Structure 1
Amino acid sequence: MTVLTLANSKGGCGKTTTGRMMAAILAMEGADFAVIDADPNRALHRWLANLYEGPAIVHKAEENEDRLAHLIAEMRERHALVLVDTAGFENLGSSVAIASADAVLIPCMSSEADLFESRRTAEKVRSLSVTTRRKIPAYVVMNGIRATSVSAYATQQIQEAGLQLLTTTFGRRADFEAVTLTGKTPKSGEAWRETMKLLRELRSLGVMPEARQRVEA
């Protein structure tokens, strides 16, 4: 049973939006998974509870680090995948979610602040790997990319920092913004294709269960 934690100590990098898209498509695929929102703002939990339109998704919200540790352990016994969203700042809940993870996904935009905090988050993953005495792989996915030159510079910075960069990138799409305000997940277009590519890449790395059923655009 896999725990995949979305983490970055920089707010606004796309963790929750990525979580929304991933969860909605996983539900369409009939995946056996649960979502835990460990962010005190509970944006993902509110979206799933109040706006989301699609197959049912098991979701919980818990920002208290002690209760969060037990909740993650409980959910991983029940489901093939537990997707954990964390706060856009460093706190104990984020550390618990990272320490409990089998892999960490670090969404990162191309600003200096995002790159700086992504490196800090990756270092936190490394230190918690030492603490827990097991390897916790971390993968960076570039988000909100507009210009090729900016993307190339950000990619270079990530690679020079020794971080593992996914080939999947997310553009700055209107569909991603629309998803935050509606419960409807796009089933075509670039936002859909980018999210599907991310799921395929994570599956190739062994940190995402295979789809139970094929979802067509």
Structure 2
Amino acid sequence: MSVLTLAGSKGGCGKSTIARAVAALLAREGTSFAVIDADPNGALHRWLGHIYEGPSIEHRAEANEDRLAHLIADLRERFDLVLVDTAGFENLGSSVAIASADAVLIPCKSSEADLYEARTTATKVKSLAVTTRRTIPAYVVLNSVRTTAVAAHAAEQIKEAGLARLDATLGHRADYETMTHTGRMPNTGAAYKEMTAVVDELRRNGAMPSVRIVVGA
């Protein structure tokens, strides 16, 4: 019934990486959700279909903005959560996915250029919220953090820009890259703790439904 869209004005900020990890964690819980890969390159869809190792995940690939709108509407009636991974703004499907969202997660690395892109994405979310005449909460999550000093500076810049930010952050860790090849999300260690913290915080903020175990999962 809820739609969480991962958005960014361009590629490379970590949308698909986070979508993989969140999907793997939710599947392990046995929660009711589906994944849509709205990026024309289809990396997340390929991963879920051919590399991922874990409980079955309902997943679709749809980059066409018209069909995407109908697919999101259909899946949100069938699942507690629809997780949508998007391309950059050059693809109209990204705007459809944001406009359909109950919340938007904006991954952001720590460079000035990435912070600029996060602000651009947040502005897009606000514009589409006005267009759809409803509130669409957006949360920035710092991704691929290398040092605490840089992360602290980036967090301050995000605050000064008036953007909402998750307290949870994601480090620059080999586990996330390894996951693209092995298909397995770690169930211990720093990467697991980070992603669990992200999911828990999104739930506290109402951006993701609480756990509801699917009978027979």
After TM superposition, the score normalised by the length of structure 1 is: 0.96
Identity, in percent, stands at 67
1:135 and 2:132 aligned: no
User: In structure 1, how many angstroms separate the alpha carbons of the residues matched to 2:207 and 2:165?
Assistant: 15
Partner of 1:106: 106
Partner of 1:170: 170
Unaligned runs of 5+ in 1: none
Q: Which amino acid aligns with 2:118?
A: S
Partner of 2:116: 116
Partner of 2:71: 71
Partner of 2:43: 43
Shift of 1:89: 4.2
User: In structure 1, how many angstroms separate the alpha carbons of the residues matched to 2:96 and 2:189?
Assistant: 36
- Which structure has more strand as a fraction of its residues? 1
Partner of 1:161: 161
1:5 and 2:34 aligned: no
Cα RMSD for the two superposed structures: 0.9
Unaligned runs of 5+ in 2: none
User: In structure 2, how many angstroms separate the alpha carbons of the residues matched to 1:113 and 1:42?
Assistant: 25
Q: Which amino acid aligns with 2:81?
A: L
In the comparison of the two structures, how many residue pairs are matched? 213
Query: Is contact 2:89-2:95 (8 Å) kept?
Result: no
Partner of 2:196: 196
User: In structure 1, how many angstroms separate the alpha carbons of the residues matched to 2:10 and 2:191?
Assistant: 22
User: In structure 2, how many angstroms separate the alpha carbons of the residues matched to 1:149 and 1:130?
Assistant: 36
Q: State the SS of the aligned residue for 1:145.
A: coil
Q: State the SS of the aligned residue for 2:107.
A: strand
Structure 1 runs (4+) deviating above 3 angstroms are none
1:19 and 2:16 aligned: no
User: In structure 2, how many angstroms separate the alpha carbons of the residues matched to 1:6 and 1:115?
Assistant: 16
